[in-house]
């Protein structure tokens, strides 16, 4: 389905919905533009504020309650169109009583247009509803899936267009709203949201939240569980299950320094507090930049703070993404490429230039690997996701190619000028949206023309619209990696693993070592490496994942038990995707993959099962 067909479908439904007491519908020519991947009509009626009052029903796996929307209406507007997917609507009413509504036909990922007729002058609409136990944004964990094993846990993931599965809302990044919420949970549990949060358990089980800054729907977030809090400084802290919170606070102790570094570069942090929540291991992402409360995977807890660049990334979203937001999911690189660039700058400030160069190199490797799997049309920064699940655009391209484009600009104009440009950009477009075309225009007028840099020199078109990497791609260089390459080459020439010089290597060096080993490796070489470095037993998820890829590629059976265990005990898509993909490459591997998946699937979030179902053709 192409995007234009979504718009067309809206029109058909609009016409089909005529029985409501509304004035004649506009003809298709007059139909206001519909945001991509949304059924909503913000140009007619726009949500300004959301009030949620929800009870969390763990046995039924449902949120039950009401959403009240404050609306700004254009003159003559008579209806509000929201996005809704798998919601059961019980009643819709305004100040004057019940309102007529109509749920259109649902279309897979996009859900349905939820159209409410509005009498003139309507300011507030209340929707009583309940979510479905299968709501795609929500994951209901059994006690066994938590660290404490005693209480259930609820977590949400709204990006890209999953908010509509738990809140009836205009689910597009072009609509921003403030919110408040009352959340009722079992008395032993704590609720927290992407908002002002409690730091103490509340004996009543009723938690109230306020989000004073306007956010797009994909940043709505909730978690409920046995959650404790440890402060890091006056404005940041860590939430996690009680048995995890101390190790999490130790791992993420650098957050206050990261905030200071980010503010020096890009201006004040505008969201009040910055806390992180370490979730149970099924969380599908490394992190999610829910404002005021980043959600994190526990696979970042390596014990040596070596994987905290993900936290720098999520913090950086407080500027790129949460403050200046991609106008559509086709412009996703404006969120992720900028954030990856900022993440590397914050990491450089804290841990030095060579450390940042290692991150750049590892990112570039992931990008080049991804190019092997992607259709050329999805390799430009600006992608066409019309009619597709926008999650399909969540590849390494917006992240790594996007950040390399910014690094190229830095190399051309100089760091000082790019920093000044970015600082002004975040100030000027704070709480607004940005398109790729508008950004390129700003780049042209503010950086290229004043500095006499031609567009041909920058190869803008190749970066934005063409596959692969342009010839002017920046080449990061790390001294630490040069040392690693000498050792992997020596291993390739026959030096025993025990004779390699690897003392004091960082996680990033180990990763680069595994990437730069000669191909293919024999079973004897794999066994030699494993005996010496104990990769199969490592507690570092990042290293383990790359090692397990080798184990699949080279049929190293002693690691198969660890492979299965890793796939069953965590659900981070970045790890699942390459491992299942590699297994699926051979008939025997595919069989093993399906056997493991049958066991693991119930523990994954829908974001991950959506991807892995496709890789394994599950259910076909």
Residue positions annotated with a catalytic role: 314, 399
Instruction: Between 297 and 339, name the residue whose CB sits nearer to Zn ion.
Output: 339
Closest CB 440 distance from Zn ion, rounded Å:
21
Nearer to Zn ion, 339 or 611 (CB): 339
CA 363 to chain centre: 17
- Residue 450 CB, shortest distance to Zn ion, in Å, is 30
Strand partners, 491: none
Structure tokens, 174: 């072009």
CB of 314 to Zn ion, least distance (A): 7
Per-residue contact string for residues 181-220; x = within reach of Zn ion by CB under 5 A: ----------------------------------------
Which structure tokens are listed for 560? Answer: 């198969």
Contact 274, 316 (CB under 8 A): no
Integer angstrom CA distances of residue 104 from 71, 119, 425:
21, 20, 40
The 10 Å Cβ neighbour count of residue 436 is 21
Closest approach, Cβ 302 to Zn ion, in A, equals: 20
Stretch that binds Zn ion, among 178-186, 328-336, 466-474, 537-545 (CB under 5 A): 328-336
Between CA 138 and CA 151 the distance in angstroms is 17
| CB nearer to Zn ion: pick between 14 and 396 | 396
How distant is the alpha carbon of residue 568 from its chain centre? Answer: 22
Scanning 215-223, 277-285, 338-346, 379-387 for contacts with Zn ion by CB under 5 A, the matching segment is 338-346
Candidate ranges 173-181, 339-347, 512-520, 581-589; the one touching Zn ion (CB under 5 A): 339-347
Q: Which is nearer to Zn ion, 336 or 379 (CB)?
A: 336
Per CB under 5 A, the segment of 292-300, 333-341, 371-379, 489-497 that binds Zn ion is 333-341
Cα–Cα dist 460/29, whole Å: 34
Q: Which span sits near Zn ion by CB under 5 A: 141-149, 331-339, 364-372, 595-603?
A: 331-339
At 272, list the tokens. Answer: 């009040």
As a whole number of Å, the end-to-end CA separation of the chain is: 21
Least distance to Zn ion from the beta carbon of 194, Å? Answer: 15
- Which SS3 state, helix, strand or coil, does residue 447 take? helix
Residues 316, 342: Cα–Cα separation, whole Å: 6
Please report how close the Cβ of residue 313 comes to Zn ion at its closest, in angstroms. 6
As beta bridge partners, residue 92 has 127
Among the listed residues 47, 22, 216, the one whose alpha carbon sits nearest the alpha carbon of residue 124: 47
Site for Zn ion in 267-326 (CB under 5 A): none
DSSP state of 354: H
Q: How far is the CB of 295 from Zn ion (least distance, A)?
A: 12
C-beta of 310: minimal distance to Zn ion in Å? 9
Distance between CA atoms of residues 511 and 530, nearest Å: 14
Q: Which is nearer to Zn ion, 336 or 348 (CB)?
A: 336
What H or E segment, with its residue span, contains residue 409?
helix 402-413
Shortest approach of Zn ion to residue 107 CB, angstroms? 27
Nearer to Zn ion, 251 or 314 (CB): 314
* Part of the chain binding Zn ion (CB under 5 A), chosen from 198-206, 274-282, 336-344, 574-582: 336-344
The Cβ of residue 541 has, within 10 Å, a number of other Cβ atoms equal to 21
Residues facing 222 on adjacent strands: 193
Residue 444 token pair: 């042209």
Nearest to 274 by CA among 324, 236, 247: 236
Q: Which CB, 290 or 487, lies closer to Zn ion?
A: 290
Q: Give the nearer residue to Zn ion in terms of CB position, either 336 or 530.
A: 336
Nearer to Zn ion, 336 or 545 (CB): 336
Q: Among residues 574 and 594, whose Cβ is nearest to Zn ion? A: 574
Q: How far is the CB of 411 from Zn ion (least distance, A)?
A: 23
How many Å is the Cα radius of gyration of the chain? 25
3-state secondary structure of 329: helix
Rounded least distance, CB 401 to Zn ion, Å = 14
Peptide bond preceding 520: is omega within 30 degrees of 0, i.e. cis?
yes
Number of residues in contact with Zn ion under rule CB under 5 A: 2
Q: Segment contacting Zn ion (CB under 5 A): 245-253, 325-333, 335-343, 589-597?
A: 335-343
For Zn ion, the closer CB: 314 or 379:
314
Alpha helices in 304-352, H assignment, sequence order: 309-316, 332-351
Query: Which tokens sit at 266?
Result: 């890009």
Q: Render 526-586 in DSSP notation, one character per residue.
A: HHHHHHHH-GGG-S-HHHHHHHHHHHHHTT-GGGHHHHHHHHHH---HHHHHHHHHHHTTS
CA dihedral defined by 336, 338, 341, 344, rounded to 10 degrees? -70
Q: Among 480, 531, 489, 490, which Cα is nearest to 510's?
A: 480
Tell me the two tokens of residue 9. Answer: 């479908």
Contacts with 400 (C-beta within 8 Å, 6 or more apart), sequence order: 337, 340, 363, 364, 366, 367
CA 600 to chain CA mean position, Å: 22
Residues that bind Zn ion (CB under 5 A): 336, 339
């Amino acid at each position: 389905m192409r995007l234009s067909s979504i718009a067309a479908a809206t029109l058909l439904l609009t016409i089909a919905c005529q029985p409501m007491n509304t004035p004649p519908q506009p003809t298709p020519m007059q139909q206001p533009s519909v945001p991509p991947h949304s059924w909503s009509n913000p140009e007619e009626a726009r949500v300004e504020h959301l009030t949620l009052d929800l009870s969390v029903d763990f046995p039924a796996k449902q949120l039950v309650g009401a959403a009240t929307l404050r609306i700004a209406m254009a003159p003559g507007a008579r209806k509000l169109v929201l996005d809704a997917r798998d919601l059961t609507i019980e009643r819709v009413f305004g100040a004057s009583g019940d309102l007529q509504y109509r749920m259109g036909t649902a279309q897979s990922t996009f859900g349905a247009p939820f159209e409410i007729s509005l009498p003139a002058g309507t300011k507030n609409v209340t929707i009583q509803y309940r979510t479905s136990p299968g709501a795609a944004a929500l994951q209901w964990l059994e006690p066994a899936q938590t660290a404490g094993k005693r209480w259930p846990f609820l977590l949400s993931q709204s990006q890209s267009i999953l908010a509509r599965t738990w809140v009836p809302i205009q689910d597009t990044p072009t609509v921003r709203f403030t919110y408040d919420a009352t959340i009722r949970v079992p008395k032993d549990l704590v609720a927290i949201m992407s908002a002002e949060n409690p730091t103490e358990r509340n004996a009543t089980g009723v938690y109230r939240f306020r989000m004073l800054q306007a956010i797009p729907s994909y940043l709505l977030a909730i978690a409920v569980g046995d959650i404790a809090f440890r402060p890091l400084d006056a404005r940041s802290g860590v939430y996690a299950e009680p048995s995890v919170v101390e190790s999490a606070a130790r791992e993420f102790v650098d957050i206050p320094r990261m905030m200071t570094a980010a503010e020096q570069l890009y201006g004040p942090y505008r969201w009040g507090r910055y806390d992180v929540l370490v979730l149970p291991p099924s969380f599908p992402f490394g992190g999610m930049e829910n404002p005021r409360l980043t959600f994190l995977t526990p696979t970042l807890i390596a014990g040596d703070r070596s994987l905290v660049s993900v936290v720098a990334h999520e913090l950086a979203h407080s500027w790129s993404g949460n403050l200046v937001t991609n106008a559509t999911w086709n412009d996703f690189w404006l969120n992720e490429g900028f954030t990856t660039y900022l993440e590397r700058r914050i990491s450089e400030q804290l841990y030095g230039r060579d450390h940042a160069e290692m991150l750049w190199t590892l990112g570039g490797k992931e990008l080049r690997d991804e190019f092997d799997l992607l259709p050329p049309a999805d390799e430009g920064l600006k992608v066409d996701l019309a009619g597709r699940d926008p999650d399909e655009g969540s590849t390494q391209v917006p992240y790594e190619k996007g950040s390399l484009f910014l690094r190229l600009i830095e190399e051309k104009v100089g760091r000082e000028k790019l920093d000044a440009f970015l600082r002004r950009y975040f100030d000027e477009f704070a709480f607004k949206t940005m398109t790729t075309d508008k950004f390129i225009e700003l780049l042209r007028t503010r950086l290229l023309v004043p500095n006499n840099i031609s567009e041909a020199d920058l190869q803008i078109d190749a970066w934005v619209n063409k596959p692969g990497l342009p010839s002017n791609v920046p080449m990061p260089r790390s001294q630490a990696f040069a040392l690693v390459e000498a050792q992997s080459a020596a291993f390739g020439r026959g030096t025993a693993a025990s004779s390699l010089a690897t003392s004091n290597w960082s996680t990033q060096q180990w990763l680069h070592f595994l990437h730069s080993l000669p191909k293919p490796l024999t079973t004897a070489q794999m066994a030699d490496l494993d005996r010496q470095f104990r990769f199969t037993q490592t507690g570092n998820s990042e290293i383990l994942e790359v090692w397990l890829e080798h184990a699949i590629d080279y049929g190293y059976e002693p690691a198969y038990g660890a492979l299965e265990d890793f796939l069953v005990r965590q659900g981070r898509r970045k790890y699942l995707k390459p491992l299942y993909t590699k297994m699926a490459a051979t008939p025997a591997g595919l069989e093993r993959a399906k056997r493991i998946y049958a066991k693991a699937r119930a523990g994954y979030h829908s974001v991950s099962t959506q991807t892995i179902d496709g890789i394994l053709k599950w259910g076909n």
